[in-house]
Amino acid sequence: MTDTQRRKRGFLAMLLAIALTAAFPLGVLADADGLDEDPFQQQEVEEITAEDAGEEEQQAAVASKPVSGSPQAAVLNAAELSPVRPRSEALGALLDELLPTIVSEDMDTYEQVKACYDYLVTNVSYGSHMKNLNTPVANGVTCARIYGDYGELEGFGAVALTAKKGMCNAYASAFILMTRELGLNAYLVKGSTRRSGGAYTHHEWAEVKVGDKVYLFDPQLEQNLRASGLPAYSVFCVTYDQVPGRYTK
Residue 147 lies in a domain: yes
d(CA 66, CA 163): 29
In a domain, 26, yes or no: no
Is residue 32 assigned to a domain?
no
Mean pLDDT of 68-80: 92
Does residue 30 belong to any structural domain of this protein?
no
- The reply to whether 28 falls in a domain is no
87-117 pLDDT, tens per residue?
999 999 999 999 999 999 999 999 999 999 9
The pTM is what? 0.79
- The total number of structural domains in the chain stands at 1
Identify the pLDDT of residue 198: 86
Tell me the residue range of the domain where 62 lies: 3-21+53-248
Check which CATH number belongs to the domain holding 158 and give it. Answer: 3.10.620
**DSSP class per residue in 208-226:** EEETTEEEEE-HHHHHHHH
Q: Are 183 and 191 in contact (CB under 8 A)?
A: no
Query: What b/e string do you get for 16-32 counting C-beta neighbours within 10 Å, with b at 16 or more?
Result: bbeebeeebeeeebbee
Residue 12 is assigned to a structural domain of this protein: yes
Q: What confidence tens digit (pLDDT) does each residue in 133-176 have?
A: 999 999 999 999 999 999 999 999 999 999 999 999 999 999 99
Kindly state whether residue 197 falls inside one of the protein's structural domains: yes
Please report whether residue 86 resides in a domain.
yes
Write the single-letter amino acid at 54.
G
The DSSP annotation for 99-165 comes to GGGT--TTS-HHHHHHHHHHHHHHH-EE--SGGGTT-EEETTEEHHHHHHHH-HHHHHHHHHHHT-E
Give the C-alpha distances (Å, rounded to integers) separating 18 from 12, 14, 170, 191, 240: 10, 6, 21, 32, 42
Tell me the per-residue pLDDT of 174-203, one tens digit each, with 9 for 90 and over.
999 999 999 999 999 999 998 878 899 999
